[in-house]
Amino acid sequence: MVLGKRAVTWFKGAWHEGNTPIMGAADHGTWQGTMVFDGARAFEGVMPDLELHAARIVRSASSMGMDPVMQGPEIAALIREGVGRFAPGSELYLRPMMWSTEATEALIDAQPGSTAMAICIEDLPMPDPVNGLALTVSPFRRPRQDTALTEAKAACLYPNNARIVRDARARGFHNALSLDLEGHVAETASTNVFAVRDGVVTTPVPNGTFLAGITRARIIELLRGDGLEVLETAMSVADFEVADEIFVTGNAAKVMPVTRFEARDLPYGLVSQRARALYWDFAHQMPEAAE
């Protein structure tokens, strides 16, 4: 599946056009699900926090029992090289991936040194925040760290995310809050989530049931630096039912407002607008912005 009109893939030392085949039928990652990936963004001539995304896939691979093919700086350099194959200012999704090709004698676990790697770069427009998102609450829960490998950005975790979105879309929403096994809000199926009430910003505290995203951390830092109070704490659905604003953060769209939660309409409020503006200002102060 190509997200946009064009994709380029680095694999086995060279760049290839299109939806490049990268996995064999007998690869351990194909049938045992040891694929890990990360996502970064290029837009308006910038690639914010690219190095952090490149470093995270290395950690994810190690968590999965694989020896990473290369380290973060090398991955980031390759991604920059690939972005140079597109027109300046293109809106792109940047996805490095690693998976195992061989198993140990036990068959289920990966042979650590058999890791393969690819980098796929695809054109993908940045969503417009004007219309916002409609959010519901999912009946499906998120696993704990003692029930799944939640510390990795692993492809095998995403079927659960997919059914959360599938259920939400079937009920007329874009996405849904998902709860952990104790009933606390974790995140949506694909983003971290923030609620605003009386000017105070609150977001679920990382507890091992969801990936505390790079964009999430950046938004917390930027809002606090701008003088807003940001709390990381255990949250319930009730906290979102009384929120003045809700917004989400993630790699694909960076910062997006929620303009409907269940049956209640919400504004694209001043705090949500400020969070997005602060992020764009930060992104354009990154080194790529001057190139």
**pLDDT tens per residue, range 96-118:** 999 999 988 888 888 899 999 99
**CATH 3.20.10.10-classified regions of the chain:** 133-283
* Token pair recorded at residue 266: 């919400």
pLDDT given at position 108:
86
Band (pLDDT 50/70/90 cuts) for residue 288 is low
Which CATH code for domain 7-123? 3.30.470.10
d(CA 281, CA 289) in angstroms, rounded, equals 10
Best CA proximity match to 115, nearest among 41, 37, 51: 37
The topology (CATH level 3) of 133-283 is D-amino Acid Aminotransferase; Chain A, domain 2 (3.20.10)
**CATH 3.30.470.10-classified regions of the chain:** 7-123
pTM of the model: 0.94
d(CA 161, CA 177) in angstroms, rounded, equals 11
Q: In this prediction, what percent of the chain has a pLDDT beyond 70?
A: 98
Band (pLDDT 50/70/90 cuts) for residue 290 is very low
